[in-house]
Structure 1
Amino acid sequence: MADGSADAAPPKLSLPVGFGVSRISQACLACRRKKVKCDGQSPCHNCSSRCLTCEYPKTSDNASSSRQYASSLEERCQQLDQFCGRLESLSIELTESILEIKHLRHAPPDLGLAVDDELQQAAHALQSLPTVYSGSIPTMNELSIEVNATPDAGHELISEHAPDNISDTNNDQDISDESIDDGDFGLSKDNGEIKGMPSKFGSLVTDSYGKLRYLGGATNNVLVEAVKGLSPGSFTSIYNSSPGSSNLGQASFNHTENAPPEFEIPLFVRGQKWQELPYLPRAEDVPRPPKYVADLLVNLYFDQLHYTFPVLYKPHFMSCYRQMSPSPSGSNDNVDAKFLSVFFAVCACASTLIPLDGKSTSFPGLDYYQKSLILYYASTGEASVERVQCVALLAMCAGGWNTLTQSWTFAGQAVRAAQDLGMHLSSLTAVSTEPSDLIKQQLSRRIWWSVYCLDRVTSICLGRPMAADDSDCHCDLPLDKKDEELEVYFQNAEPSVESPTMTTSSPMTGFVAFIQLCHIGGKIQKLHSPSRIRELQDAKKARKFLRSVVSLQRALDRWLAGLPDDVRFSANATERGPNLTMCVIMFIVHAGSLLNLYRSLSGSAAQATLGSHGDEAMSHCVSAARSCINAAELVRELVPPSHHLAFCVHYLTLSGLILIPEHPREKAHADVEKCIRFLKGLESTCSGASKGRAIIEHLLKDSSALNLDGSLADLLNDPNTSWNQLPGSELFSYSSFSPDFLNL
């Protein structure tokens, strides 16, 4: 039996302490003597149950020694293979960290890639290297701890400072979304990337035109990783110039490989493109304005509109504009249709700045608007930065015509076009130290935040849903530098040591502050959705709702207190420019945000649940309305026709309507008269001003009549009222009436 058991097949190998192996000949010495079956363990079952010493003398049999050596060698090879796999992944991470550290030695600090963070990540990776792989799945609690430990993993996807926890007073998801922590506005000037997490946010994949488009979602990431594995090197996440762009051209996400990859995303078929629309004219057939007219319109745009809506990079636009021939002579076969659509949109926006002669019945710049729209529709199916710029400028132009519904529609298209290119995620762009790439990155951020604010302003003004959801976006704020300074800033080896000319006021300061205000305004708009307002009938949810209102009020107060001096209005300020224009716009939007925040709490239905909070909310509305009217004094002189002007006129009208029924009437009506005067001054630039003024004047007259009727009712209800006190009593000769007559 001992010999038979010596030739038995070895069991499944394990890894006991000391790197031992199971016995080749299974029977121990005690089992051999008793001639019983031995299980081959150390100790075996028989010896352990009888408290005997389980002895197994090593055999000198050549066959047994060979089998034992082969088994031991196999186990060591398996363990070495596992260790090499872990070591390979660690070496890749260390190599990437070392390369990024080398880039940082010559890169500007605004890239946000901290050397200490990289070293800490490498140290953590070394410490976390396990001895034996464990296939256990982490629990949900462990995952939540990891998410909370990551600074950038909160639902606030953009933060001004290091993001803190969201307001702890709002535990429900439907309320906490609108809460902003006391320490930040939910926005970030930190230009760093989220290291190790871009793949979780999405990827840029090649479309049928050979360009890169955004594809997100955890499930789609499985598909993207599979395609990357089958065709390595076929996908990149860098900005490349579009075919019609110069070296500093508008960023376009193009495929950098000349040869098509063997495997592609099934959502796109390479080479399958949209056919040209046969009834639309070609770009070279669209007539352009004379050179002197085009120069006037372009200069007007960049002088008055550009920094309130910075979707363009002026040096590149002017370079392309100078290369464009002044008139289509019939031989212009190389016309850049994408740039031409942006050019006509610029002309349409600038045409609203030219004073009207009073005889025209159409919108100013309508001809340029139509040409730009034709070229925009001609590029159906493509994805490019020029399409985003074009539709965004058309939205601003429509807002200047007081056609806010059309502006809101175009704003939604601009948001979708920007998301199609992945502009809403900073993590999709590769790290580069080239000045041209950094400028394109800044342009992408400017474009995204411009369409974001456009969507917020039009949606808040109309009370409609917003196209951009904060939880879907993670884009860093643009630098506070004007166009002419960006290239010099990035070419400087040490940007932190700036010359005195670089530290002066920047026309981008007001726009960056406006982004923060629009972010808060969007949360207020979402808080007052119809589903949330219906919940005010529940006392518990009403209390949570009030806590969210208080949190948003604090956010508005902090935003106002933290405004830079360049965008603070001062009576002594003599220099007028983009920052003063943005100052007026922001104060109107700030007052409008307060009206949105408190107006729904001051209605009769809300007062039944909120009690005294309804009266307090009404006082906030009155104060915000007066602030809006006082800030509107400079709207006519400073705010150009755009969606900003339409918003200012709309909330100026609302402010007058809110003040009409207020007491004391003398003070309230004085502010209403001021509102009427400001609206009358804006009638030449905004058609909505005349309609708003007519409504306020009519209601003001009705309010005076209602005031007289209310006084008469009070007299009739007073039992001590005499006939001579009643209006019109002198027309009758009756000296007295019975008490019952007055009680009718």
Structure 2
Amino acid sequence: MPSSDAHSSSAGSSGTRRLRVQRACNVCRRRKRRCDGQERCDLCAKHNFKCTYVEPALPLELNGSVAELYEALQGPPIPGSVDYVGMLKVQIRVAEVLLEKQKAALKEGGPGVQVILNVIHQLDSLTTHTPLPDDLTFDEITTSFQSMSITDRTWEPGFCGKSSRAALAKYALNLARSGQVSSPQPVAPWQSGRKSRTIKSVASKSVPSVTIPRPTYTFPDDDLLRSLVSLYFINVNRFLPLLHNPTFEESLTQNLHKTHRSFAKTLLLVCAVGARYDDRVLPNAGWKWFNQVNVWEHSIERFPTLYDVQAFCLAAEFLDATSGPRTSWQFVGFGIRIAEDLALHRFRVCRGAMAFEQELEKRAWWVLMVFDAQISATLGRVTALEAVDFNQHPPILCDDEYWGNPDTTLFMQPAGKPSIAAFFNHLIELNRILALSCKILYSTKPRRLALGLEDDGWQEKVVRELDSALNTWFETIPDHLHWKLDSPIQDDTFFDQSAVLQCTYYYTRIMIHRPFIPVIRGILDPTHLPSLAICTTAARACINVAEMQQQRRPNTPLRFGQTPLFTSAVVLLLNLWGGSGTAVAKTKDLHDIHRCITMLSAWRSQWPSVDALIDALQRLVALDQRPPDHQLGP
């Protein structure tokens, strides 16, 4: 064999020269020359170098150019190469400094991570930043454009931002008014050869076949009407304070719905939503009043008003409970567009009677934002707007009965009196964390690249910051909204509100860590986050809170409870099948899943849309392949 021959040949010549060394001499290695491995190689013999093989072999991780630099610095200098070696030492030192900086940057995260962390830090509270003067120009733009109407009818362009053509026209108008150009004379429509263009003439020309039917509204009997309105304000408006209760009741007492079509439309939708909580009109509660309302009346024959925004909010609330989140999400989107058209997303300084309307505008805007965050998370869709796209202030922390009137001091909550309105502001903050978490952690690859989220471990850094923001939010909950176990002295309203905040808090925690559950993320992309344990703990806690709320308030379904309960049940199923808990713990998890199904089933009459969730959970539980002795029936 060739190996035997080579061995014999080398053995036979051992008396005349040393065995051939299987590695290059020190000089040949430094010069990257091929070495014949003799006792004194040809290169060393030719240049009279000392031919040695005494340097230890380099570690395997030092290879390529790094290994060569290491050898050059550690070995004896080559004649005439002292300057070269010194230069290499300087270069290596520079490389070490750069490497340390790179390591530090990786610990902190790249620029994309830093931007996201800064955004998360701003979620700690709903701050009321003073708007810049440039942010208030939209009022001036609208006013300027209205003054340019060529007819007696004021043209209402709606909200016009800085990039609008109206803003450009405003600059031209300001230039004309500054005296730098001669004042233009008004041009009558007949002189310009153009007809007067009101919104009706435009609509009739562009859509001549469209007519808006105006059917006569049919309201419930007076006793039922009053009952449905009361049920709405007790079960819905205390959690989503869209309407001002005293003002609404006063308008109803004055029979405004018989003469004011927009208020009549709002009243019908309030009846439709309130009917979900009245046993007298179940199971088809609300549809007879909801179907009478055409929320699109404003689109052709008139400009939208606050009533129209409120109508979309009420319609979204009704459809979410009946038809499901998909249809509701569409109505929320339409409502947001109309609200933007009315500039409800921008803060304005108002006083007197206008302060009343502004507060209702703020409420309507934030109701849409809460709907958008929650339903978008439910459907796995992006929200219509980000927090940086608007600068509306949060609602005032003042309950409805203390709003006062334009002739007295406004919005004075009595000192020391817990506020029902505080719940909504904390719900807004919590949903901002939820929306941002979904937008970052569930984003598409193009969005991550646009944000610069390409650093190793960026997700863990962001998750830690989101967890911190969630913890900070939890610490700011006022005492009357803290979840108190077995506290009979707590007011029913505050009890229900605290249960909603607690369950939504646990749901948000799950949504932050859900992408990192091993069975979801996959074993090829592990993290150091104990996400399954965190999600499982939050799911169990959420179920416990929901069950306690149902036991104390059996006729009051937990607001926003459908998705948190469904999510908690599925998380426990994932732990049941992919976790490492004991058989006893997994049996308890299965029991908790059946508790979820039981609670959701109890809400069927008020929220028919839960049927799909119940069916999905039952089908998933039926897939459990464990032995019968490890299973537990409902």
Please report the TM-score for the alignment, with normalisation by the length of structure 2.
Answer: 0.68
The percentage of aligned residue pairs carrying the same residue is 17
Q: Look up the match of 2:566.
A: 650
1:474 equivalent in alignment to 2:412: no
Q: Tell me, yes or no, if the aligned pair for 2:597 and 2:617 is still in contact at 8 Å.
A: no
Q: Look up the match of 1:319.
A: 250
1:666 equivalent in alignment to 2:580: no
Inter-partner Cα distance in structure 2 for 1:388 and 1:475: 16
Change beyond 3 A, Cα 1:617–1:180: farther
Structure 2 residue runs of 5 or longer lacking an equivalent are 1-105, 147-152, 179-185, 190-195
Inter-partner Cα distance in structure 2 for 1:324 and 1:260: 45
1:559-599 deviation per Cα after TM superposition (whole angstroms, max 9, x unaligned): 11221112111122533344332322222222222222111
Instruction: Give the letter for the 2:490 counterpart.
Output: E
Q: Partner of 2:174: helix, strand, or coil?
A: helix
Change beyond 3 A, Cα 1:170–1:490: farther
Q: Look up the match of 1:296.
A: 227
Inter-partner Cα distance in structure 1 for 2:407 and 2:130: 16
Change beyond 3 A, Cα 1:489–1:568: farther
Q: Partner of 2:624: helix, strand, or coil?
A: helix
Q: Look up the match of 1:396.
A: 317
Q: Partner of 2:292: helix, strand, or coil?
A: helix
Q: Tell me, yes or no, if the aligned pair for 1:346 and 1:393 is still in contact at 8 Å.
A: yes
Change beyond 3 A, Cα 1:551–1:382: same
Cα deviation, residue 177, structure 1: 5.5
Q: Partner of 1:584: helix, strand, or coil?
A: helix
Q: Look up the match of 1:564.
A: 478
Q: Tell me, yes or no, if the aligned pair for 1:341 and 1:376 is still in contact at 8 Å.
A: no
1:423 equivalent in alignment to 2:336: no
Inter-partner Cα distance in structure 1 for 2:188 and 2:534: 61
Inter-partner Cα distance in structure 2 for 1:599 and 1:261: 65
Inter-partner Cα distance in structure 2 for 1:274 and 1:502: 53
Inter-partner Cα distance in structure 1 for 2:447 and 2:586: 31
Q: Tell me, yes or no, if the aligned pair for 2:600 and 2:614 is still in contact at 8 Å.
A: no
Instruction: Give the letter for the 1:471 counterpart.
Output: V
1:283-304 deviation per Cα after TM superposition (whole angstroms, max 9, x unaligned): 5x22222222211111111122
1:216 equivalent in alignment to 2:130: no
Q: Tell me, yes or no, if the aligned pair for 1:214 and 1:421 is still in contact at 8 Å.
A: yes
Q: Look up the match of 1:188.
A: 126
Instruction: Give the letter for the 2:376 counterpart.
Output: S
1:411 equivalent in alignment to 2:332: yes
Q: Tell me, yes or no, if the aligned pair for 1:396 and 1:642 is still in contact at 8 Å.
A: no
Inter-partner Cα distance in structure 2 for 1:422 and 1:196: 15
Q: Look up the match of 2:421.
A: 508
Change beyond 3 A, Cα 1:674–1:273: same
450-459 or 678-687, which deviates more: 678-687
Structure 1 residue runs of 5 or longer lacking an equivalent are 1-166, 234-258, 263-267, 327-331, 710-744
Alignment of 1:330-729 (within 5 A): 335-355=259-279, 360=283, 363-373=284-294, 376=297, 382-401=303-322, 403-426=324-347, 429=348, 431-432=349-350, 434-487=351-404, 491-492=408-409, 501-532=414-445, 541-571=455-485, 572-603=487-518, 606-608=521-523, 610-613=525-528, 616-636=530-550, 637=553, 644-661=560-577, 662=579, 663-686=581-604, 687=608, 689=610, 691-700=612-621, 702-705=623-626
Instruction: Give the letter for the 1:547 counterpart.
Output: K
Q: Tell me, yes or no, if the aligned pair for 2:507 and 2:542 is still in contact at 8 Å.
A: yes
Inter-partner Cα distance in structure 2 for 1:398 and 1:451: 14
Inter-partner Cα distance in structure 2 for 1:579 and 1:489: 29
Cα deviation, residue 701, structure 1: 5.1
Cα deviation, residue 457, structure 1: 0.8
Q: Look up the match of 1:157.
A: none
Alignment of 1:74-93 (within 5 A): none
Change beyond 3 A, Cα 1:378–1:424: closer
Inter-partner Cα distance in structure 2 for 1:380 and 1:548: 48
Q: Tell me, yes or no, if the aligned pair for 2:519 and 2:574 is still in contact at 8 Å.
A: no
1:119-140 deviation per Cα after TM superposition (whole angstroms, max 9, x unaligned): xxxxxxxxxxxxxxxxxxxxxx
Please report the TM-score for the alignment, with normalisation by the length of structure 1.
Answer: 0.59
Q: Partner of 1:305: helix, strand, or coil?
A: helix
Q: Partner of 1:468: helix, strand, or coil?
A: coil
Instruction: Give the letter for the 1:293 counterpart.
Output: L
Q: Tell me, yes or no, if the aligned pair for 1:345 and 1:390 is still in contact at 8 Å.
A: yes
Change beyond 3 A, Cα 1:489–1:692: same
Inter-partner Cα distance in structure 2 for 1:395 and 1:388: 11
Q: Between Structure 1 and Structure 2, how many residues are aligned?
A: 491
Instruction: Give the letter for the 2:336 counterpart.
Output: V
Inter-partner Cα distance in structure 1 for 2:114 and 2:407: 39
Q: Tell me, yes or no, if the aligned pair for 1:507 and 1:579 is still in contact at 8 Å.
A: yes
Q: Tell me, yes or no, if the aligned pair for 1:407 and 1:643 is still in contact at 8 Å.
A: no
201-210 or 456-465, which deviates more: 201-210
Inter-partner Cα distance in structure 1 for 2:587 and 2:251: 54
